[in-house]
Amino acid sequence: NIGLINSLSVYAQTNEYGFLETPYRRVRDGVVTDEINYLSAIEEGNFVIAQANSNLDEDGRFIEDLVTCRSKGESSLFSRDQVDYMDVSTQQVVSVGASLIPFLEHDDANRALMGANMQRQAVPTLRADKPLVGTGMERAVAVDSGVTSVAKRGGTVQYVDASRIVIKVNEDEMYPGEAGIDIYNLTKYTRSNQNTCINQ
């Protein structure tokens, strides 16, 4: 018994009515545009949606005449002119934890589910290191975790020690009459609500 887990999928958000929505790229006359629309599960059933890994040419047009799509919960082949939307990413159907597992599509479903569950139970590392094999989601996870400090404005690092970072702001981003120095005080070995360690 591996148990079921309920985690929010990557790129999902709640709309004004509290329903979950996920983004899709608009397709017009067989050409994929950069226009992004958020659709709920109910709205999604009214459209023909292509997979994110569908082959496109330089102009964003589907290469194949028949494209693998889903419509009303069923997967089938559709003419490229019938396609309404396209997934923005192949990872948008999984959670953030599962999206950190390399080559997830080649894993056994039970193993992937256990791996995603263990990602949720992971504790902060004191000496973090970059992965040997990444999936492209690592930066977003690191920034959202609060362990990394992200500068509000561009500039040059003037001073660094264990407790603070001093940055001289670029002149084009400075406000009139200000010193142009941003100081970031780091959080050091602080207790989190889960009794783990927060250390920047």
Confidence band, pLDDT 50/70/90 cuts, at residue 129: confident
- When pLDDT is averaged across residues 42-60 and rounded to a whole number, the result is 90
CA distances from 158 to 32, 75, 166, 174 (A): 45, 56, 6, 16
In order of their start, the domains of the chain are 13-87 (2.30.150.10), 96-145 (no CATH), 155-198 (2.40.50.100)
Which residue did the predictor score with more confidence, 186 or 3? 186
126 in Cβ contact with 197 (< 8 Å): yes
**How confident is the model at residue 146, as a pLDDT?**
81
146-180 tens-digit pLDDT:
888 889 998 999 999 999 999 999 988 888 888 88
- Predicted confidence band at 120 (pLDDT cuts at 50, 70, 90)? confident
pLDDT tier at 1, thresholds 50, 70, 90 = low
